[in-house]
Amino acid sequence: MFRALALTLSCTLAAASTPRTLRVDLHHQGTATTESFSLDRVVLEPLPWPGNPAKPIDDSNLGKYRFEVRDPKSGKVLYSRGFASVMGEWQDTAEAQKQSRVFEESLRFPCPEGPVTVAYQKRDAAMAFEDVWKVEVDPKGTFVDRAKPRSAGALLKIVHHGESASKVDLLILGDGYTAAERPKFERDARRLSALLFAQEPFKSHKTDFNVWGLCPAAQESGISRPSTGIHRHSPVGATYDAFGSERYVLTFENKALREAASQAPYDFVEILVNGETYGGGGIHQLYSTVASDNAFAPYLFIHEFAHHFAGLADEYYTSDVALELGKPRLEPWEPNVTADPRNPKWKELITPGLPLPTPWKKAEFEAYSHGIQKERRAIRAANQPESIMEALFRREAAHETKLLGTDVHSGKVGAFEGANYEATGYYRSQEDCVMFTRDEVGFCAACRKAIEGVIRQYAGR
């Protein structure tokens, strides 16, 4: 069942043909098995809508959730986007089995000229989207927040290839950088941007992107890491130890994120945290994060951004995760994993004659990887220097590069068992991928296909 709420708002056009950006802020609360929604506020952001006006409807079928902006009289869908959320991930944790929590979320879309219905949708048992909450929005009222947000600092133009309407706009948003560290943020942002466009398929599509930088000044350098007693009031609120996972970096302060980000044109947000400890995170159509100074920041940036950008699933399954596993194996919505190895989403890419499922050195890989995870836990428990962890990861990457690159079906496209945090029952398209290991193999075929699909959605191709 859904609840209908009514609001009124004013939508002032920034230009004759370009609407402003409208944002609905809401609260999403519940447990592992229940959820409900409540309206917080509606905000008219200061900048024009950056999206592609020719492609307002999301036909990717990605995301645990989706929202639609509809004409209230005809029911016609004017705008839609699939997405995932912090709440959606938290529901799969052990904590969600014991208590309820509330998380802030936002829905952004081009400001309508007249009244609209905004419908929040979730997948049902058959993985189809159904309405779970609605809010009626009328752009003629007075209770829309039009206040100018607190300055996030000067906007940095990192890469620019044209008007936002025909480009993918990526915002790199700094967190944990003091005013004196602004030059460091600029160097970090430019370095990671260059790494993104050195990686296919982003390399071939560099001219389809604009990249911007914003860095609101922090009072203290760095972000929170509660497991070691470090707490910071950083501008965007990023923190290690999300859901109890020491390497998982998220922000739970959605308002702070949105207020800062609203000062740049953006479709996607990368939160660049000022820190050395290995960590990052990525949620589809929400944001991704990376620790700037870790030796594996290039891998983390690419890997976590792929979660955010294209809804890619993790293909690894031997690392410790905060999620509760063992659920029924439905076909996942993520484009790079499947529960049906004989009819995968990437079937048109399969190497002719390859057996499905595709055999690989699975047992050998698992034995080595479980040993690495044991060493990793011991390093963190002893609070050893980050250089010790980095040395472990280098040893692991070297071993995996050799093992996975010299197998019978290395480099071929098939259906390799082990993905989506599960050793059995889920399959990936190639033996190795940046979503599977930290070596330098790049994206698998299924991942490249998914990324290019998103680029076409936003860049108009």
Q: Averaged over 126-150, what is the pLDDT?
A: 90
Which stretches of 355-416 are DSSP H helices?
362-381, 386-405
Give the Cα separation of 200 and 452 in Å (integer). Answer: 10
**In the prediction, which pLDDT does 141 show?**
66
Convert the pLDDT of each residue in 309-350 to its tens digit. 999 999 999 876 544 555 667 899 999 999 999 999 999 999
DSSP state at residue 203: G
**The tokens 């702070």 sit on which residue?**
256
Give yes or no for residue 10 having a pLDDT over 50: no
Convert the pLDDT of each residue in 378-414 to its tens digit. 998 998 999 999 999 999 999 999 999 999 999 999 9
**In the prediction, which pLDDT does 138 show?**
80
265: left (phi over 0), alpha (psi -120 to 50) or beta: beta
Q: Averaged over 285-299, what is the pLDDT?
A: 96
Q: Averaged over 70-76, what is the pLDDT?
A: 96
Tell me the pLDDT band of 17, cut-offs 50, 70 and 90: confident
Convert the pLDDT of each residue in 141-186 to its tens digit. 678 899 999 999 999 999 999 999 999 999 999 999 999 999 999 9
Q: What are the CA-CA distances from residue 277 to residues 117, 221, 283, 434 (Å)?
A: 44, 14, 20, 20
Task: Give kind and range of the element (H or E) at residue 451.
Answer: helix 445-459
Contact call for residues 253 and 224 (beta carbons, < 8 A):
no
- pLDDT over 70 for what percent of the chain? 94
Contact call for residues 107 and 120 (beta carbons, < 8 A):
yes
Buried b (16+ CB within 10 A) or exposed e, 170-184: bbbbbbbbbeebbeb
Q: Which has the higher per-residue pLDDT, 275 or 325?
A: 275
Q: What are the counts of helices (DSSP H) followed by strands (DSSP E) for the chain?
A: 7, 19
pTM for this prediction? 0.93
Tell me the pLDDT band of 14, cut-offs 50, 70 and 90: very low
Q: Averaged over 283-304, what is the pLDDT?
A: 97
DSSP collapsed to 3 states, 113-156: CCCEEEEEEEECCCCCEEEEEEEEEECECCCCECCCCCCCCCCE
Alpha-carbon Rg of the chain, whole angstroms?
22
Tell me the pLDDT band of 461, cut-offs 50, 70 and 90: low
Q: Averaged over 224-232, what is the pLDDT?
A: 96
The correct answer on CATH 2.60.40.3250 for the domain covering 4-138 is yes
Tell me the pLDDT band of 15, cut-offs 50, 70 and 90: very low
Convert the pLDDT of each residue in 82-115 to its tens digit. 999 999 999 999 999 999 999 999 999 999 998 9
Contact call for residues 26 and 105 (beta carbons, < 8 A):
yes
Contact call for residues 26 and 127 (beta carbons, < 8 A):
no
- pLDDT over 90 for what percent of the chain? 89
Residues counted in the chain: 461
Q: Averaged over 65-87, what is the pLDDT?
A: 97
Give the Cα separation of 42 and 26 in Å (integer). Answer: 9
DSSP state at residue 277: S
Fold identical between 4-138 and 156-311? Answer: no
Tell me the pLDDT band of 120, cut-offs 50, 70 and 90: very high
Tell me the pLDDT band of 74, cut-offs 50, 70 and 90: very high
Buried b (16+ CB within 10 A) or exposed e, 194-212: eebbebeebeebeebbbbb
**In the prediction, which pLDDT does 439 show?**
87
**In the prediction, which pLDDT does 13 show?**
45
Measured in degrees and rounded to the nearest 5, phi and psi for residue 70 equal: -120, 150
Q: What tokens were used for 85?
A: 């959320």
Parse the chain into domains and list their residue ranges.
4-138, 156-311, 337-441
Q: Under CATH, what is the fold of the domain 156-311?
A: Collagenase (Catalytic Domain) (3.40.390)
Give yes or no for residue 362 having a pLDDT over 70: yes
Average pLDDT of the chain, as a whole number:
93
Q: How many CA atoms lie within 13 A of 201 on its CB side?
A: 18
**In the prediction, which pLDDT does 7 show?**
44
**In the prediction, which pLDDT does 253 show?**
98
